């Protein structure tokens, strides 16, 4: 097909609209996972496949239900990744498949969501273990994307500036104290004369790190003596529902923003886009959404494959708190390395030049 006969503007608009459609699909699947977890057992009639769901149907709802929905979402977006990762030009068939053919993709999505409910629970447990790893990879990629955004923000606004289940409250004090030390270290390095990045980027990163620490402490079980949240009495009000929906929205936004940010993971970031080039990497976009499917599953089951989460809860439990704390430390480490790596590289270059001189 001759690229000259293709309306690049129209194709580009289709590809940009497509990513929002995929985000809506992902949001809908998140709501489906929540519904299956909390209300599926009481709403759906006992007509499920007993070899997969068990005689009582328990293996198709609650924790395993979330994993089955997650697996269906993963299958769909991974198939999209396999069929679009080679796309480079707007006029290619892979690009048109990414941006169109919605009726066919609807049936593909439906089949992907139904198939996991016929898989024996043993395989679903294996997927759950794999999903933990996939969710960790997703968090790491999200961190890199966030840090790159912070660096861009700083450059834009400052262009001239080069298993103990019952821990005592001392654990929370340690988390807060260690977070404060990380903030001090990041700001000192950022203001160092050889780094000279100013306070803007370190301030934004500090806010993100503090948020992760706060979120980790908030994720601790409500029955712990150090958690001052109102205990769960089986009831919920509008604030619970609103907070839950905001949390789902945050998951979708995190997945969407990371998926369209393939440039942060490129070694050569100065490539000039031609008129008929795709505007974002379709394969990377769908790969992030497939990992995001694993990530939302872990949040809905609080990273615990054995116990079912309570109604209207998301990302609550000691496993969730631990993941967020580790996420915080990894984020601070990556950001600190981003600050000092140019200085280290420059030092190595100078030493190599001095060594080569006679």
Q: What is the pLDDT of residues 299-318, one digit of tens each?
A: 788 777 776 666 666 667 77
User: Is 213 part of a structural domain of the chain?
Assistant: no
Q: For residues 285 and 299, what is the distance between their CA atoms, to the nearest angstrom?
A: 21
pLDDT of residue 67: 92
Provide mean pLDDT across the span 61-87.
91
pLDDT greater at residue 1 or residue 204: 204
Provide mean pLDDT across the span 242-265.
75
| Model confidence at 212: pLDDT above 80 | no
CB 78 within 8 A of CB 109: no
| Model confidence at 42: pLDDT above 60 | yes
Quote the distance between the C-alpha of residue 301 and its chain's center: 15
At residue 25 the predicted structure's pLDDT band, cuts being 50, 70 and 90, is very high
Provide mean pLDDT across the span 37-44.
80
Percent of the chain with pLDDT over 90: 13
Which domain range does residue 68 map to?
Answer: 3-157+239-318
User: Is 105 part of a structural domain of the chain?
Assistant: yes
CB 324 within 8 A of CB 218: no
pLDDT greater at residue 133 or residue 191: 133
User: Is 325 part of a structural domain of the chain?
Assistant: no
At residue 324 the predicted structure's pLDDT band, cuts being 50, 70 and 90, is confident
User: Is 114 part of a structural domain of the chain?
Assistant: yes
At residue 298 the predicted structure's pLDDT band, cuts being 50, 70 and 90, is confident
pLDDT of residue 108: 94
Residue 2: count of CB within 10 angstroms of its CB: 6
pLDDT of residue 213: 82
Q: How many CA atoms lie within 13 A of 337 on its CB side?
A: 7
User: Is 211 part of a structural domain of the chain?
Assistant: no
Q: For residues 122 and 41, what is the distance between their CA atoms, to the nearest angstrom?
A: 20
Greatest mean pLDDT among 15-29, 261-275, 321-335 lies in 15-29
Residue range 160-187, pLDDT digits in tens: 444 444 464 777 788 888 888 888 888 8
At residue 80 the predicted structure's pLDDT band, cuts being 50, 70 and 90, is very high
Percent of the chain with pLDDT over 70: 72
pLDDT of residue 50: 75
Give me the residue label for tokens 């402490």.
217
User: Is 163 part of a structural domain of the chain?
Assistant: no
pLDDT of residue 104: 93
User: Is 70 part of a structural domain of the chain?
Assistant: yes
User: Is 134 part of a structural domain of the chain?
Assistant: yes
| Lowest pLDDT segment from 90-99, 257-266, 293-302, 338-347 | 257-266
Give the list of residues 6+ apart from residue 151 with CB closer than 8 angstroms, or none. Answer: 201, 338
CA proximity to 278, closest of 6, 31, 1? 6
Give how many domains the chain has, as a whole number: 1
């Amino acid at each position: 097909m001759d690229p000259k006969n293709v309306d690049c503007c129209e194709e580009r608009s289709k590809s940009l609209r497509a990513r929002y459609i995929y985000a809506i699909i992902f949001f809908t699947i998140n709501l489906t996972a929540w519904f299956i977890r909390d209300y599926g057992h009481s709403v759906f009639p006992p007509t499920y496949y007993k070899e997969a769901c068990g005689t009582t149907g328990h293996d198709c709802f609650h924790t395993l239900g979330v994993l089955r929905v997650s697996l269906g979402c993963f299958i769909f977006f991974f198939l999209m990744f396999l069929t679009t990762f080679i796309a480079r030009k707007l006029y290619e068939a892979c690009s048109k498949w990414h941006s169109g053919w919605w009726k066919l993709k609807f049936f593909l999505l439906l089949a992907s969501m139904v198939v996991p409910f016929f898989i024996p629970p043993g395989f679903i447990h294996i997927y759950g273990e794999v999903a933990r790893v996939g969710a960790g990879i997703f968090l790491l990629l999200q961190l890199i994307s966030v840090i790159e955004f912070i660096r861009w923000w700083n450059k834009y606004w400052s262009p001239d500036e080069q298993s103990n289940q019952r821990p005592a409250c001392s654990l929370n004090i340690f988390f807060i104290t260690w977070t404060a030390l990380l903030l001090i270290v990041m700001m000192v390095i950022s203001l160092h004369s050889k780094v000279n990045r100013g306070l803007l980027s370190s301030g934004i990163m500090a806010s993100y790190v503090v948020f992760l620490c706060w979120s980790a402490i908030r994720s601790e079980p409500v029955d712990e003596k150090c958690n001052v949240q109102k205990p769960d009495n089986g009831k919920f009000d509008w604030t619970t529902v609103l907070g839950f929906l905001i949390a789902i929205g945050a998951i979708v936004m995190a997945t969407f923003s990371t998926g369209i940010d393939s440039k942060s993971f490129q070694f050569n970031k100065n490539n000039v886009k031609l008129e008929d080039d795709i505007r974002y990497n379709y394969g990377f976009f769908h790969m992030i959404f497939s990992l995001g499917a694993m990530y939302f599953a872990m949040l809905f089951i609080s990273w615990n494959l054995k116990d079912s989460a309570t109604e209207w809860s998301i990302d609550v439990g000691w496993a969730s708190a631990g993941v967020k704390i580790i996420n915080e430390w990894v984020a601070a480490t990556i950001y600190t390395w981003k600050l000092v790596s140019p200085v280290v590289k420059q030092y190595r270059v100078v030493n190599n030049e001095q060594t080569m001189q006679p």
